[in-house]
Structure 1
Amino acid sequence: MTGQRDQLVVVSNRVSGLTGRGAPGAQGGLAGALEAVLKRRGGTWCGWSGNERGEFTGDVHINYRDGIRKATIDLEPQDVEEYYNGYANSTIWPLFHCRLDLTRYERNFGKGYERVNKRITDCAAQLIGPGDLVWVHDYHLMALGKGLRMRGIANRIGFFLHIPWPPVRLFSSLPFHERLVSSLLKYDLIGFQCDEWLENFLHYCRKDLGAAVDEQSGRIKYEGVTTHARVYPVGIDFDHFTALADTPEAQEAAWWLRSSTRERIAMIGVDRLDYSKGLPERLDGIGCFFERHPERTHDLVFVQIAPPSREDVKSYRDIRARLERKTRQINDAFSEVEFDPIRYVKRGFSQAQLYGLYRAARIALVTPLRDGMNLVAKEYVAAQDRLDPGVLILSRFAGAARQLDSALIVNPHNPVEIAQAIRAAMDMPLEERRSRWERLADNVRDENVHVWAGNFLHDLESV
């Protein structure tokens, strides 16, 4: 296609700024990134409203906010159970994070996933003009590209995966895995966050699907269709985030953390409550630190912010109970009359408040067992004082570790390694902290969300 594109149409499970189960309360991650891109370019955002109705009507709800047209549909309770709680979050999410032990394969889940992908496809198809670029996001909607092609949509359609792609042997345990990937290959361009996830995908396409794959260019030919798969590391809206420094919310949050920790070193973790984030393993590492260095108990306070999520899914209720139990055990063993060494905070914070908390924390502990990217690590770097920056401890299994290699990189499964990194961070000289932070900040500043979006959309127009 040639000529000027009329608009950008983004399709995702969640549409930010709306109420309901499917929409986040605060801007961050996928929601914050797409909000920033659409505010700059203008366009349409389509997806599930987050609301449930007793019977599906197909009605599309349209509203306008900040120059963005937002179009949503409501789903039936059965849709939510089979598509969202079921296939997306009980099958795809654990499998793609290499938790085969938590992966549930149920036939109705797959049916519900395809049914809701069809319903969101019907919604999006009404909104796509002849010259529009279409950008579909994440594991909830992998089948949507095929649906749009079946409706005769010939536009350039791209897909970006915000979570890891698993190794071939794990992915091939998924029933009808060929069917899912053949649907993905109807997109013109597929984006991954790091080389490892792309390599896993190309390996599967070549080995199990029998597609013709050019490893150098990422070109895949299958059933007469050519698709390109490439790496696009997602970033944060650096300018917007750092502008929060002078807000009352940020300054009050920083003051609270500094004053409440009573001159002790504050170490922070900020995560959605999820088994992929390695929170119990993180606490094992902190407990190991206190056991190995009892003389440092009074020097460190760890604040873990972990608002609950997906509480309709049993594995998420289990991880919350496990985290609460480990927090109590460590506090029982090491607390004093005047303080507990671990604070577990079960609510979310605004971006401005998080900026202040990051700024006041001398150490950030970002130790997922497996993560597509992890924007918390980048936000922490962006919030630091250039004259007296803190230290980032980062899991080697986060996608961000490929870019942020000046952090202290750890194996999140090894509590001794986490304990050693905590001690190194506490004792790190100012000169080394500055040197490490400068290299991290250069990447976070340069590889921001607008560069990410610009690179992807440029390639989508030109492949």
Structure 2
Amino acid sequence: MSNRAPIRIVREDGHERIEPTVGGVGTTFLRLLERHGGLWIAWSGGQKTPPRLPFPPGHPCFAMSFVQLGERDVSLYYYGLCNRALWPLMHSMISNCHFNTGHWRQYVLVNERFAERAVAEADSGDALWIQDFHLALTPAKIRARRSDLPIGIFWHVPFPPVELYMVFPWRRELLAGMLGADLVGFHTRGYATHFLDACERVLGAEVDRTRGEVRYQGRLTRALPFPLGIPVDYFEQLAANPKTLERARRIRRALRSEIVVLGVDRLDYTKGILERLLGFERFLDANPAYHRRVTLVLIAVPSRTKVTDYVMLKRQVDETVGRVIGKFSSAGWVPIRYLYTQFGAEELVAHYLAADIALLTPLRDGMNLVAKEFVASHPSDDAVLILSEFAGAAEELTEALLVNPYDADAVAERLREAIEMEPAKRALRMRTLRHKVHENNLERWSANFLHALAGDFALEAHAAPVVSAD
């Protein structure tokens, strides 16, 4: 169950066609359900959708059950509470938070609607796996009606330190909603610890940090780290496809650059795109010998274009790109190729292959799957990953060149280090990274979470009542 389905229904000339969306949680679970079957409850992203849709069309492996959201829901719940309050809060960006009681009320109503659908669809013996902060209240709302169901929720974004979380006006309600689950999953142990701290301080819950357990209102919930993996075989197959390889060669020829640095992100203020540009500018300032030899390809996927903060960010990025290009361009060389678009998986992997270096500088990120996709797309171990210290993936991918994205000098130095790294050292680092990505792939991540969920539900179902004595 998630806020958005991994598809969109496109209507043209009186006909409908279904297109898969690219990236994010949606693509991840699309591949899981295609392999294992099940039911996906989500909003389609549109106003008019069928109540249920077999997928993929023609050869269905699973079904989607669509929750209908109206314009008011989308405006207040999605663009309001989710994008203007919870998203910046979870990324510790308090100055970007906007709290509104009307938005919260609509958030509660939409979570109720998702819970009602889940209760109606779930059979005895089913397990419910809820995804992300859009549906934080749904576990408790389902639990109130169906105590027979194992319920898990995975938090795909960071969880902030309790001192920051405390600014949220509905801090008790959000935590209580999450604790309706038997298992709450996070990308890192640090995020899980922040959640446990909040449960203890905000709710007065009994917390066991060693076991990752919370006791609240007679129920036991565990909060544990499950670092998200990717479908490694999918990216390796794309990287080995002759069409992808030829496309990568064409990209290199078009760039006419000896060294290609790649950045790929949604256009979001958490992704450190401006900081990346400033770091690249500092590199060019400090290393004139690399002028006309290095090009940064910046892919920015349009995102939340109706939210004011994102409109402002795009203007800043456009202006900064223009300024750096104007400052350094010479003799037919343009230092930045800026692509404001969304690519399909094949085109994205072609860009991964065409790049010598990935420069990923989020200011805060739950995981950063682009880092893992880049690694999986380089089976020849011929690339370097530069990754922000503040991405969840940095805890796993320690062989990357880790960097503080707020430090432009450090970003510039890491770029120089990556460019000048000896081939043997580069190969060793990338080979180790690929091993880690293989070891913790998408299948293992999902299996670990579902196995833990089944165990936690059995434990809770047979637990003795908690009796308190004054």
Q: TM-score range by the shorter chain?
A: over 0.9
Find the partner of 2:196 among 191, 198, 202: 202
Shift of 1:336: 1.4
Q: CA distance change for structure 1 residues 85 and 249 in 2, over 3 Å: closer, same or farther?
A: farther
Name the residue aligned to 1:18.
8
Shift of 1:246: 3.4
Counterparts of residues 159-198 of structure 1 (less than 5 Å):
159-198=153-192
Find the partner of 1:424 among 408, 417, 428: 417
Higher mean displacement: 413-422 or 197-206? 197-206
% same residue:
37
Shift of 1:208: 2.4
Cα RMSD (Å): 1.7
Higher mean displacement: 440-449 or 65-74? 65-74
Q: CA distance change for structure 1 residues 200 and 187 in 2, over 3 Å: closer, same or farther?
A: same
Shift of 1:15: 1.1
Shift of 1:164: 0.2
2:277 equivalent to 1:277: no
Secondary structure in 1 matching 2:92: coil
Letter in 2 for 1:16: P
Find the partner of 1:61 among 39, 43, 52: 52
Asked if the contact 1:257–1:266 (Cα under 8 Å) also holds between the matched residues in 2, the reply is no
Letter in 1 for 2:149: N
Find the partner of 1:216 among 187, 210, 218: 210
CA distance in structure 1 between the aligned counterparts of 2:53 and 2:373, rounded to whole angstroms:
32
Q: CA distance change for structure 1 residues 336 and 196 in 2, over 3 Å: closer, same or farther?
A: same
Asked if the contact 1:159–1:187 (Cα under 8 Å) also holds between the matched residues in 2, the reply is yes
CA distance in structure 1 between the aligned counterparts of 2:162 and 2:364, rounded to whole angstroms:
16
CA distance in structure 1 between the aligned counterparts of 2:451 and 2:85, rounded to whole angstroms:
33
Name the residue aligned to 1:5.
none
Name the residue aligned to 1:8.
none
Secondary structure in 2 matching 1:378: helix
Shift of 1:27: 3.3
Find the partner of 2:128 among 134, 138, 154: 134
CA distance in structure 2 between the aligned counterparts of 1:110 and 1:422, rounded to whole angstroms:
43
CA distance in structure 2 between the aligned counterparts of 1:25 and 1:304, rounded to whole angstroms:
23
Find the partner of 1:243 among 234, 237, 255: 237
Find the partner of 1:47 among 42, 51, 57: 42
**Length-normalised TM-score, structure 1:** 0.94
Aligned pair count reads 447
Letter in 2 for 1:331: I
CA distance in structure 2 between the aligned counterparts of 1:406 and 1:245, rounded to whole angstroms:
22
Q: CA distance change for structure 1 residues 29 and 59 in 2, over 3 Å: closer, same or farther?
A: closer
- Cα deviation 1:170-194 (Å, max 9, x = unaligned): 1110002011101110100000001
CA distance in structure 2 between the aligned counterparts of 1:80 and 1:101, rounded to whole angstroms:
23
CA distance in structure 1 between the aligned counterparts of 2:79 and 2:331, rounded to whole angstroms:
43
Name the residue aligned to 1:91.
85
Find the partner of 1:38 among 10, 13, 33: 33
- Cα deviation 1:111-160 (Å, max 9, x = unaligned): 11111111122222221001101100001000111111222352000000
CA distance in structure 2 between the aligned counterparts of 1:91 and 1:216, rounded to whole angstroms:
31
Counterparts of residues 14-413 of structure 1 (less than 5 Å):
14-19=4-9, 26-52=21-47, 60-65=51-56, 66-386=60-380, 388-413=381-406
Name the residue aligned to 1:6.
none
Structure 1 runs not aligned, ≥5 long: 1-10
Name the residue aligned to 2:462.
none
CA distance in structure 2 between the aligned counterparts of 1:298 and 1:62, rounded to whole angstroms:
52
Asked if the contact 1:283–1:327 (Cα under 8 Å) also holds between the matched residues in 2, the reply is yes
Letter in 2 for 1:60: P
Shift of 1:18: 3.0
- Cα deviation 1:20-66 (Å, max 9, x = unaligned): 79x9854322112111221222100011111136xxxx983333324
Shift of 1:108: 0.6
Secondary structure in 1 matching 2:198: helix
Asked if the contact 1:20–1:51 (Cα under 8 Å) also holds between the matched residues in 2, the reply is no
Shift of 1:306: 0.6
Letter in 2 for 1:200: H
Name the residue aligned to 2:439.
446
- Cα deviation 1:331-379 (Å, max 9, x = unaligned): 0000114121001101111112211211120000011000000000001
Asked if the contact 1:250–1:357 (Cα under 8 Å) also holds between the matched residues in 2, the reply is no
Shift of 1:215: 0.8
Name the residue aligned to 2:427.
434
CA distance in structure 2 between the aligned counterparts of 1:215 and 1:104, rounded to whole angstroms:
32
Letter in 2 for 1:397: F
CA distance in structure 1 between the aligned counterparts of 2:86 and 2:349, rounded to whole angstroms:
32
Structure 2 runs not aligned, ≥5 long: 12-17, 457-470
